[in-house]
Amino acid sequence: MNSLKSARITSLSMYLICGLCLMMGKVNATEMTLTPTLQTPSIAIEKGITLAGGTRNQQFKLSNPSNQRQYLIQVYQSQTPAPKAGFPVIYLLDGNAAFPYASVMAQAIEFSYARHHQAPPLIVAIGYDIDSTIDVKARTFDYTPPIQGELISPENRPNPPYPIGGAEQFYQFIQTQLKPFIAKHYPVDVQQQSLFGHSYGGLFTLFTMLNHPDAFQHYYAASPSIWWHDDYLIKQAQLFQKKYKPSGMEQPITVHLSVGEEELKEHLPQSAQVEKNTDIARFANTLSNIKNMQITQQVIADASHFEAMFPAINHALNRILDHAVQDSQSK
C-alpha cells in the first residue's frame, strides 16, 4: 500500500489546480428522475459540477420533515465498475465546502486505478440549498447535541446566536432517509461506511459515534469541537468507556481524530502547546483500550482550523482504501 499512497500524494498538486476550476462549476439540466423512498416527494438526480475530462458528479435535494430543512446532496461515483460488495461510501458534512475538493481527490485516485486496482469510495456530501459554502445557522443546529439547561461556553468562545440541539434529528435524517436512498440507487458496501465532519461537523461525528456506534464503521473527526458545552464530549466519552470497556464493541469501529498545528497555538496557552494536551488526545485517552475500537490521532503541520479540513479529507480517502483492501483480503 505504500506505493499506492505515494502515487496519490504525488497527484495532489495537479488536482488542486483542477479543484479551483471545479468550485466554479454550474448545475445543468435534470438528468433523470428516480423513484422516491419513504414516501418522500419525487426526487430528481441532476448533473452536478464537472470534473477533469468532462466527468459529471450528481446532486439532488432531500427534505427533512423533522425540521423542514432541505439538504443539497452531492455524489461522486467512480467510473470504474463497483466491487462485488459495492463501493465503500463516505458521508461528508459541510458538503458545500468539502465536496469540490473531495471529488477532485477521488478522481485523482481513480486515474491511478489501472496501476493499483482500487477504486475510490462513493462520496456523499451533505450540504445545504444555498449559494455560499457554509450555512452557519443551519449547521449550528444540525451538528450540536441536545442538552439540558443553558449552553456553557469558554470565555474565548461566545455562545452562538442561533438555535442548537438538532444533532439527534439530523442523525435520524441520515439513517432513515439519506442512507436508504443512497443504498437503493448506488452500489454501496453497507459494511464499509464512513462519516467525516470538521469543527462542529466533528462534534456531530463524535456525538454519532458515542450514541450510535454501529451506524458507521469508520469515523473521521477533523478539528472537532470537543470543548463545546464544558467538555460535553469528554463527559459522554467517559460514560461510553464505562459501558464498553468490560466487554468491548460488538462490531469493530475505527475513529481518526485530527487537528491543525496552528490552531493549537490559537486556543492553547504557550505552556500547553504540546500534543499530549490537545483536546483530541484527551478524548482518545478517555476511550483507550476498548476491544474492537481503534483510535488514532494526527496533528496536521502548518494548518489552521479551516485549512486542516482538506488534508483530513485526503487522509480519510486514503484510509478508506486501506480498509477496503484489508476487508477484501480477509474474505
Highest mean pLDDT of the ranges 253-267, 271-285, 306-320? 306-320
In this structure, CATH architecture of domain 2-253+305-330: 3-Layer(aba) Sandwich (3.40)
Give CA–CA dist 91/74, Å, rounded.
10
Exposure string of 124-135, with b = 16+ CB inside 10 Å and e = fewer, is: bbbbbeeeeeeb
pTM: 0.85
- pLDDT tens-place string over residues 46-86: 767 666 655 668 999 999 888 889 999 999 999 888 999 99
E strand or H helix at 19: helix 12-22
pLDDT at 175 over 90: yes
pLDDT at 226 over 60: yes
The total number of residues written for the chain in this structure: 331
pLDDT at 271 over 50: no
- At residue 243's C-alpha, the angle toward residues 237 and 246, to 5°, is 120
